[in-house]
Each structure stands twice: as structure tokens, then as C-alpha cells.
Amino acid sequence: MARLAQTAGLTDVQQEILSTVRDFVDKEIIPVATELEHRDEYPQAIVDGLKELGLFGLMIPEEYGGLGESLLTYALCVEEIARGWMSVSGIINTHFIVAYMLKQHGTQEQKDHFLPRMAAGDIRGAFSMSEPALGSDVSAITSKAVKDGEEYVLTGQKMWLTNGGTSSLVAVLVRSDEGHPEGTAPHKSMTTFLVEKEPGFGEVRPGLTIPGKIDKMGYKGVDTTELIMDGLRIPAERVLGGVTGRGFYQMMDGVEVGRVNVAARGCGVAQRAFELGVRYAQQRHTFGKPIAQHQAIQFKLAEMATKVEAAHAMMVNAARKKDSGERNDLEAGMAKYLASEYCKEVVEDAFRIHGGYGFSKEYEIERLYREAPMLLIGEGTAEIQKMIIGRRLLEEYRFQG
């Protein structure tokens, strides 16, 4: 698509990376996405292709074998990939969050140990905060780590791990009371553990079980799982950053960049929905003319394109803010909120434009219609984004009277 979602001020390197990814999406992802999605099949060939392109190391510093690119470059790549198939962007997203957390908070030994192999895509990351009884309220986590000599013993059940089966490194957030007396604020008594495991399902390491994939309405192909820890022993050197009690902040930092990423996914899916809608509207005739010539449909297209533009601009703004070193929770919250809501609306309009055919599995829009709702939930629901946005606004606009 030539005109919408352009980004001013990109460097030559950024433009080259994006055009390579766009080409890959058009040739290797779009032609096979719907078929693989309907079969809920893991897109191994696509993942191998992304590995070859170096996408798993896009933001990992060059000294660890990555490309050392910015969050903006990353988000624009995610937008392109999600335009092809949202599940593929999910495969790299949790990996990217874990690599980011390691880069920002890991000890030197942890960076040296994990980042080069993560950059090559040989170690793949997942992250785990949610539990069966909580998602939004992270402070209510009940999974626990208890110190035993030079190790910690982890118990508890985790829920909704994207890439839970295919990953070999999971950043797991648990409560760790050691050194934090009872009554310590929940966010100060949580620790992120770097849990290495075999990819696959069943008992993937003594004390660690990944049951099968959760059957989902959309976002298929990528595996989403539970994770059960029952006496899982983790050495103290695998506490992220080497010090307990910092997990909550580390995870929130990771989720903040993850939100830009989810916004980028919303932009990509919305762009694809627009492309499908505008094409179909010129092919389908009713009452003697293409439906695109009916004003009601033209208005829909106008609204869809405007939403695509607005979401893209906010996503780019949030990424640039983070890249500049500034706090971006307000911008990331707004971008995630707006892009996911607009994505749902644009997809629905494209679905309506398709008439009855939109309901057929033969048409790509059917898949997008099942994918868009995930964006309303993942990395914090709309309500949670609004809570973050509201709090930040009250900080910024404090009444001094």
C-alpha cells in the first residue's frame, strides 16, 4: 500500500530493513497465513526465514551479535509482519521482551550467557506474569520462590504463556519473600527468574511442566500454554539482575515496550483489513455499480483509512519517545489503547464491506476478525491502559490551587 502509514525521517538502514521485511511478508507470509492458521500449524518455515533475516536479534546490541536497532525499527517491522499474520509477530514479541529485559536489567554474566544465542534465534524467549486467577492485577501473584542454599525452589501455576511450548527461556515473575518481611508492598517482593527449559510439552525440566496448547478462537499457530512449577529448582545466579525484589519493575519495563509492540500489531492488522476492504469494494457490484461508488461504503473506507493513519502516528510517537530515553508510559498506553480499538473497528468495517463472503473461511478477513480481539486484552486491557493514562495525566496536570 503506497500512501497510508508512512513514517517520515527514517534512515537508509531503517528503510532497507523495512523493505526487506515487507518483501518477505508479501512473498512468504501472506500467501500461506490463512491456511496455516486454519490448521493451527506452527509456521516453522516462516520462523526460519525470520531467523535468517536476523529479526530475533533486531534490538539486541551489536556486541552480542544483534543488529542494535531502535524500538522504532522494531515496531515498524512488527507492523509489517502483523499485516501478513499477527501470530508471527506474537512469536517474536515475547522473545523481544525477554531480550530487552536482559539488556536493561541482566547481570553481565546473564547478558553474555543468553543474548548472543537469543540474537541468533537459537534461544527463544517467553515471559510469564499471568496466573489462572489474575492477569490485570499483577500484584496478586501467588507463585512463590523459597530460598534453599544457593538455589530457589519455585512452586505455582502460570497461565497464558505465549510461546510457552516453543521457547527455551522463560522469564517468570513470582513472589519471593526472602529478604522481604511479611507486609512488604507486593511490588517490592517479586522477583523475575530466568528459567531455562527444553522446548516442547510435558515435563520439560524436573519440576516444570508445560501442558498442551490452549485452544484459542484466533491467534493460532503460535502456542499459548500454562506453566506448572512444582519444586522447580533454579540457581540464585538466574535471578534477573542478581537481586531479588526487583521483578515487578523489570516486568513493567518489559511490558511498556511490549505495549508499543502490540500497538504496532494493531496498526498492521488494521492496514491489512483496509487493503482487503478497499480492494473488495471496487470488485463487488450492487445496484449497477461497484459498492465503492456508494457513498456509505466510501465513508467507511474514509473512516478506516483515517484510523489507520492515526494509530500509526501514535505508535511511532510512542516508540520514538522511548528511543529518546524518555519515559513513555503515557504515550505507549495511549498508542496501545487507540491502535487496538481502531484495529477492531477497521476489521469490522472491512468485514461488513465483504457482505456474506466475510463470513466464509475462504476470505482472509474472517481470520483478521478472529485475531483483532486478542489485541484488546494482551499487554493490558483497555481499562488498564486507561488507568495508566489517567494516573499519568493527573501527575502531569496536578492542580496547584
Ligand X SMILES: Cc1cc2nc3c(=O)[nH]c(=O)nc-3n(C[C@H](O)[C@H](O)[C@H](O)COP(=O)(O)OP(=O)(O)OC[C@H]3O[C@@H](n4cnc5c(N)ncnc54)[C@H](O)[C@@H]3O)c2cc1C
Q: How far apart are the first and last CA of the chain?
A: 51
CB of 257 to ligand X, least distance (A): 14
Contact between 219 and ligand X (CB under 6 A)?
Answer: yes
* Rounded CA separation 297/305 (Å): 12
Give backbone dihedrals phi and psi of 261, rounded to 5 degrees, phi first: -65, -40
CA angle 67, 69, 74 (to 5 degrees): 110
Closer to ligand X by Cβ: residue 229 or 301: 229
Q: Are 203 and 209 in contact (CB under 8 A)?
A: yes
Residue with cell 527449559: 197
Closer to ligand X by Cβ: residue 7 or 93: 93
Say which amino acid occupies 312: H
CB of 389 to ligand X, least distance (A): 13
Q: Are 350 and 281 in contact (CB under 8 A)?
A: no
From 17-25, 127-135, 256-264, 336-344, span contacting ligand X (CB under 6 A):
127-135
Neighbours of 272 (CB within 10 A): 29
**Burial of residue 199, with CB atoms counted within 10 A of its CB: 0-12 exposed, 13-18 middle, 19 or more buried:** middle
Contact between 92 and ligand X (CB under 6 A)?
Answer: no
Going by DSSP bridges, is the β-strand pair 151-162/202-205 parallel, antiparallel, or unpaired? unpaired
* Identified catalytic residue from 52, 379, 383, 395: 379
CB of 172 to ligand X, least distance (A): 9
Note every long-range contact of 366-369, with CB atoms under 8 Å and residues 24 or more positions apart, other chains counting: 367/33, 367/34, 367/37, 367/38, 367/218, 368/269, 368/272, 368/273, 368/276
Contact between 374 and ligand X (CB under 6 A)?
Answer: yes
Three-state SS at 210: strand
Contact between 254 and ligand X (CB under 6 A)?
Answer: no
Contact between 87 and ligand X (CB under 6 A)?
Answer: no
Contact between 266 and ligand X (CB under 6 A)?
Answer: no
Residue with cell 509492540: 261
Contact between 130 and ligand X (CB under 6 A)?
Answer: yes
Out of 136, 139, 286, 298, point to the residue binding ligand X (CB under 6 A): 136
CB of 384 to ligand X, least distance (A): 6
Out of 49, 116, 135, 207, point to the residue binding ligand X (CB under 6 A): 135
* Bridge partners (DSSP) listed for residue 227: 158
Residue 256 catalytic? Answer: no
CA angle 364, 368, 370 (to 5 degrees): 120
* Rounded CA separation 277/350 (Å): 5
Q: Are 60 and 125 in contact (CB under 8 A)?
A: no
137-176 footprint of ligand X as x/- string (CB under 6 A): x----------------------xxx--------------
Out of 269, 315, 380, 388, point to the residue binding ligand X (CB under 6 A): 380
Kindly state the number of chain residues that form the binding site for ligand X, as judged by CB under 6 A.
Answer: 22
CB of 248 to ligand X, least distance (A): 13
Out of 383, 398, 400, 401, point to the residue binding ligand X (CB under 6 A): 383
Out of 127, 152, 248, 274, point to the residue binding ligand X (CB under 6 A): 127
CB of 115 to ligand X, least distance (A): 20
Contact between 89 and ligand X (CB under 6 A)?
Answer: no
CB of 94 to ligand X, least distance (A): 5
* Rounded CA separation 61/116 (Å): 9
Contact between 326 and ligand X (CB under 6 A)?
Answer: no
Could you tell me where the DSSP H helices lie in 67-107? 71-84, 86-105
CA dist 222 → 64, 166, 257, 326, 385 (Å): 27, 9, 20, 33, 25
Contact between 377 and ligand X (CB under 6 A)?
Answer: yes
CB of 232 to ligand X, least distance (A): 17
Closer to ligand X by Cβ: residue 114 or 127: 127
Ranked by CB distance to ligand X, the top (closest) residue is 135
Out of 58, 86, 129, 169, point to the residue binding ligand X (CB under 6 A): 129
Q: Where on the chain is the footprint of ligand X (CB under 6 A)? A: 94, 127-130, 134-137, 160-162, 216, 219, 224, 374, 377-378, 380-381, 383-384
Catalytic residue annotation: 379
